[in-house]
Amino acid sequence: MSYLKFDKNLMINLEQSLPKEMLRTNQAGAYHCSSIVGCNTRKQHGLLVIPIKEMDNKSFVMLSSLDETVIQHGAPFNLGLHRYSGGVYSPKGHKYIREYDCESVPRTTYRVGGVILTKEMIFISQENRILIRYTLVDAHSATTLQFRPFLAFRESNELVVQNGNLNQNYNEVNNGVSFCLYDGFPTLYMQFNHKPTWVSQPNWYNGIEYVKDLERGVPYTEDLWVPGYFEIPIKKGESIIFSAGTTEASPRSLNKMYEVELASRTCRTSFYNCLKNAAKQFYIKDEDGEFIKSGYPWGPIRARDTFIALPGTTLAINHENDFHDIMATASKALNNFIDNETLDSRIHGIDLPDVPLWAIWSIQQYAKNAGVDKAREKYLPLAARILDWIIAGGHPNLEVQTSGLVATAGTSVPVSWMNATSNGWPLIPRSGLLVEFNALW
């Protein structure tokens, strides 16, 4: 039984369903995030959002959404949902939703007349690829599915407007097509495990609104490019798998790829399993090491957040090896700072005065979990080096006073977790003997 399950009454009520968001990541920085009814409510939402290393590792929305349409007897029933200018929702596909659950992967059940269709989504680990499996559970007559991709190809904190710079050309690939709308971006491959018919019908969909950005008082309207649609007949009991990724896939491998990934998932059958699943979403593993992302959809990798979150996202779910791997990456960046070497560009704020204190706090939590002897053997050299460095006055903004307490200066730059700024200056300047710094010290 799924711990996360919502029925028809909640799903068709947008006041209740739109604020609920689902996040899935690939543990390499890419993610899918949207409301549980599939209507994007933030500019950072998208079906496939990926980091691009060549563009400062910023996240980019490649595929914003995919509208599904059920066709029976020539009549179309569009399951998509978007908000347009003036607060108009169209095409109101949420009215066909009968259930949403997330036992292992997010699954939406639609009912259109005699048609019962399920949609399940899964992210491929360590790969910029999302798979969506559609299963026709029941149907009393011939059924066809259409799929319209809404393409963005823009940075996740920006918005795109209709323009003439877009490259409309596409290439046919195995069971699908590929697009690269602008120079410098990776190619987006959209494919199926069954051969579809691609109908080119390019159009801009103008005036799409993101209600959460509207509420925040920031720009909230954009135009998305819909180049056409796929069309595939589907039989009762049959499943169709859609793949969107930055490399071409083998259509024959999609079903096995889906099943292998599904088998590795932690089912959300308890509150603990929900937390365990959520904790692992924030891991990032790549050739540079293993990190903790400070938050989706917009948080970078931050040193302070890494050390604060490290015990809870690893030790609390029995992932001790991940604790060591993340600590190794973060401590390397901290040692570079201590040695006055080039700072790690991936980990933000390694030079903040409380970061070395949080590093030792994190080691203390490991000692509580694994035992003092084990912690001493693993981390005593690091802890000793940090303490000696602070006492010797090595940190440029953390000074040990004659009282034994530590002081910092935060008049011109924010130094604590209260880091909001206005025109580059701290909104709440904090200097002197900060209580949380000295609690850690």
Q: What mean pLDDT do residues 121-139 have?
A: 95
What per-residue confidence (pLDDT) applies to 344?
85
Among the residue ranges 9-13, 139-143, 296-300, 363-367, the one predicted with the least confidence is 296-300
Q: What domains appear along the chain, each with residue ranges and CATH number?
A: 5-263 (2.70.98), 271-440 (no CATH)
CA gap 315, 307 in Å, rounded: 12
What per-residue confidence (pLDDT) applies to 1?
57
User: Rounded to whole angstroms, what are the CA distances from 413 to 19, 408, 432, 438?
Assistant: 34, 11, 13, 19
Task: With cut-offs at 50, 70 and 90, classify the pLDDT of residue 103.
Answer: confident
Closest CA to 60 of 130, 145, 128, 157: 157
What 3-state class would DSSP assign to 80? Answer: coil
pLDDT per residue over 343-354, tens digit each? Answer: 888 899 999 999
pLDDT per residue over 211-227, tens digit each? Answer: 999 999 999 999 999 99
pLDDT per residue over 162-171, tens digit each? Answer: 999 999 999 9
Percent of the chain with pLDDT over 90: 86
Cis peptide before 356 (omega within 30 of 0): no
Mean pLDDT, all residues of the chain: 95
pLDDT per residue over 174-204, tens digit each? Answer: 999 999 999 999 999 999 999 999 999 999 9
Q: What mean pLDDT do residues 381-399 have?
A: 97
Give the DSSP letter string of 369-401: HH-HHHHHHHHHHHHHHHHHHHHTT-STT-EE-
Q: For the chain, how far is it from start to end, CA to CA, in angstroms?
A: 46
pLDDT exceeds cutoff 70 at 2? no
What per-residue confidence (pLDDT) applies to 166?
95
Closest CA to 146 of 242, 61, 238: 242
